[in-house]
Amino acid sequence: MKRNLYLLGLMMLVLVSCDQKPTLQKYFVKNTESKDFITLDVGTGFLKNDKMKLTADESKALESMQKLNVLIFKRNDKNAAEFNKQKTEVNNLLKSDNYDELMKMNFGEGGISVNTKGEGEHLEECVLFLNQKDTGFGVVRVLGDDMTPQNVMTIVGLLQKSNFSSGQLQPLMDIMKPKTKK
């Protein structure tokens, strides 16, 4: 009987200690199947090919990255209210989930922010949040192990240098283009 009480107490402690606060990762999981979202998970293999000659710095940056998670909300006339709700939720998550904002730029009816999570030069995550009032928003999570801000910039350069099919990221690029008036 005493043993059962200990087990019950341990189980309750485990259940109570589980963190129930919202996180960006939980937000991604929650919206993976939503009709308003497009998701894409990309491993590091997309940058590794025989034709690319990587420098030592590029190889080191690539080794620090584990994967990219992309979540895109495509705005249309029917989901404008949902767009505003979801955009606010992402902004709140970035503010409350221990992210440090490195940069924020506003332009016209949209903007971009770059946020990181980690200690100083040892980042575990970098998040780009792009939004455009007329077209939607995108959240790109660069997940890694002991990344540095320089590694993140190098990875962005590798994306541009690689033969990676930009068609896969076209919905993200479309967000940054203003919607044409009919």
Residue 168: pLDDT over 60: no
Output the pTM of the full model.
0.75
Residue 55: pLDDT over 70: yes
**DSSP annotation of 79:** S
Report how far residue 155's alpha carbon sits from residue 47's, in angstroms, rounded to the nearest whole number: 9
Q: Residue 177: left (phi > 0), alpha (psi -120 to 50), or beta? A: beta
- Side chain identity at residue 112, one-letter code: I
The residue among 2, 151, 128 whose CA lies nearest residue 70 is 128
For position 161, what pLDDT does the model report? 67
Model confidence over 13-40: pLDDT tens digits? Answer: 555 555 578 899 999 999 998 999 999 8
The overall average pLDDT reported for the chain is 80
For position 129, what pLDDT does the model report? 93
pLDDT band at 86; cut points 50, 70, 90? very high
Sign for the pseudo-dihedral over CA of 39, 168, 129, 59? positive
Average pLDDT over residues 144-149: 84
CATH class of 20-175: alpha beta
Residue 72: pLDDT over 70: yes
For position 120, what pLDDT does the model report? 73
Average pLDDT over residues 103-132: 87
For position 7, what pLDDT does the model report? 56
Q: What is the share, in percent, of the chain residues with pLDDT greater than 70? A: 71
